[in-house]
């Protein structure tokens, strides 16, 4: 086995894991580690039937996201964004969101309907993508993860308190 291949056993981290609430560090260099991380992220995203995943969700405090709107079945449109940032947004839409790191909960969230994102690809080249609707929502959701924000941070205090109580009960039952 070549020595430059990194074998990692990553998993999806679930709220209330602290890494999910921390701001991720910028990637300084796109190397084998970042490329392997992005492959692991894509694999986990597909295995868990997601369309987007951020590095903090797999325990890495780095500014990397993967997105594939073709879904886990087709796997035809995989994008990896390194150090992504939203540089423009417009209009609003409210849609139902869920998250691989927020177990058993979906709710409506208001976000920009169109965004323009600047990032690096895995070759270190700057890319600028514009998108709308599901693409824009997914990118905002994943970039929020890089900033330590979960979609449940966008909901009312009452709904959040109810969800937190549910999580606390799950965790207590898990200990038994």
Contact 144, 84 (CB under 8 A): no
Q: Which CATH number is associated with domain 18-175?
A: 3.90.45.10
As a whole number, mean pLDDT of residues 150-173 equals: 93
Catalytic positions, written as ranges: 142
What contacts 24+ positions apart, CB below 8 Å, involve 14-19? 14/101, 14/102, 14/103, 15/101, 15/102, 15/103, 15/150, 15/152, 15/167, 16/164, 16/167, 17/101, 19/56, 19/59, 19/61
Per-domain residue ranges for the chain?
18-175
pLDDT tens-digit series, residues 62-78: 999 999 999 888 999 99
pLDDT tens-digit series, residues 136-161: 999 999 999 999 999 999 999 999 99
Per DSSP, the three-state class of 107 is strand
Distance CA 68, CA 124 (A): 20
CB atoms within 10 A of CB 111: 21
How far does the chain reach from its first CA to its final CA, in angstroms? 42
As a whole number, mean pLDDT of residues 96-103 equals: 95
* Confidence class for position 8, pLDDT limits 50, 70, 90: low
pTM value surpassing 0.85 = yes
């Amino acid at each position: 086995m070549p020595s430059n291949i990194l074998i990692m056993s990553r998993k999806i981290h679930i709220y209330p894991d602290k890494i999910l609430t921390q701001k991720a560090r910028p990637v300084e260099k796109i190397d084998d580690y970042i490329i392997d991380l992005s492959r692991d992220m894509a694999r986990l995203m597909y295995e868990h039937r997601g369309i987007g995943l951020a590095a903090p969700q797999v325990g890495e405090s780095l500014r990397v996201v993967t997105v594939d709107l073709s879904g886990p079945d087709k796997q035809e449109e995989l994008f990896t964004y390194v150090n992504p940032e939203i540089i423009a947004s417009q209009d609003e839409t409210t849609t139902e969101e869920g998250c691989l790191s927020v177990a058993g909960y979906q709710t409506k969230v208001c976000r920009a309907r169109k965004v323009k994102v600047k990032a690096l690809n895995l070759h270190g080249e700057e890319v600028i993508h514009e998108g709308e609707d599901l693409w824009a929502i997914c990118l905002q959701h994943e970039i929020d993860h890089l900033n330590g924000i979960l979609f449940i941070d966008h909901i009312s205090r009452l709904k959040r308190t109810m969800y937190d109580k549910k999580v606390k009960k799950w965790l207590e039952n898990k200990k038994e």
